[in-house]
Amino acid sequence: MPDDVVEVLFTEDQIRTRVQDLAHRISEDYKDRRLVLVSILRGSVFFATDLARQIELPLSMDFLSISSYGEGSEGVVRITKDLEENIAGKDVLVIEDIIDTGFTLKYLLRTLGGRNPKSLEVCTLLDRRARRIIDLELKYVGFEIPDKFVIGYGLDYRQRYRNLPYIGVVKP
């Protein structure tokens, strides 16, 4: 374990089991629909690809990259890489690694909602409710977590640790 990591919150096995549960629910819920997974770069890529492999339905995947303007400008978000696919009339599931304040998600739902998808829901691996400012409905949540700085399985600390197979807590 890297020196900065003080605690393992979820092991690789725990994550795998939870991802399977979510994929199972999604497979049931989206039967006979036109599912598009929209993975928000960069953090959700590990989760999105593992989840997609476990969903037993035809689906498409697309990627969206956004950038926020940092502290003090919460909610000011812009798209830096847009979707390739036209989502009008399709069942869109936004895949996130973590939801904190909800500002990013609010922007995403407003923007994607404006493109007339048939449905628009959210699947997040982690929900750090303690930091929530804007409350939005999250249809699928992997784990609720305490207000700690987490890394691994896509989550970074200064762009490092995304490739750890578990989710850990780093020193404050």
Instruction: Say whether residue 99 binds ligand PRP (CB under 6 A).
Output: yes
Pick from 5, 37, 87, 98 the residue near ligand PRP by CB under 6 A: 98
Give 100 or 121: the residue with its C-beta nearer to ligand PRP.
100
Q: What is the full DSSP assignment across 3-61?
A: TTEEEEEE-HHHHHHHHHHHHHHHHHHTTTS-EEEEEEETTTHHHHHHHHHH--S--EE
Q: How far is the CB of 15 from ligand PRP (least distance, A)?
A: 16
Instruction: Say whether residue 102 binds ligand PRP (CB under 6 A).
Output: yes
Q: Which stretch binds ligand PRP (CB under 6 A): 3-11, 21-29, 40-48, 78-86?
A: 40-48
Query: Can 127 be counted among the known catalytic residues?
Result: no
Under a CB-based contact definition with an 8 Å cutoff, are residues 89 and 118 in contact?
yes
DSSP H/E element including 109: helix 103-113
Instruction: Say whether residue 26 binds ligand PRP (CB under 6 A).
Output: no
Q: Who contacts 43 (Cβ-Cβ below 8 Å, separation ≥6)?
A: 96, 97, 98, 154, 155, 156, 162
Residue 154 one-letter amino acid: G
Instruction: Say whether residue 43 binds ligand PRP (CB under 6 A).
Output: yes
Instruction: Say whether residue 27 binds ligand PRP (CB under 6 A).
Output: no
Q: How far is the CB of 17 from ligand PRP (least distance, A)?
A: 22
Site residues, ligand PRP (CB under 6 A): 40-43, 96-105, 156
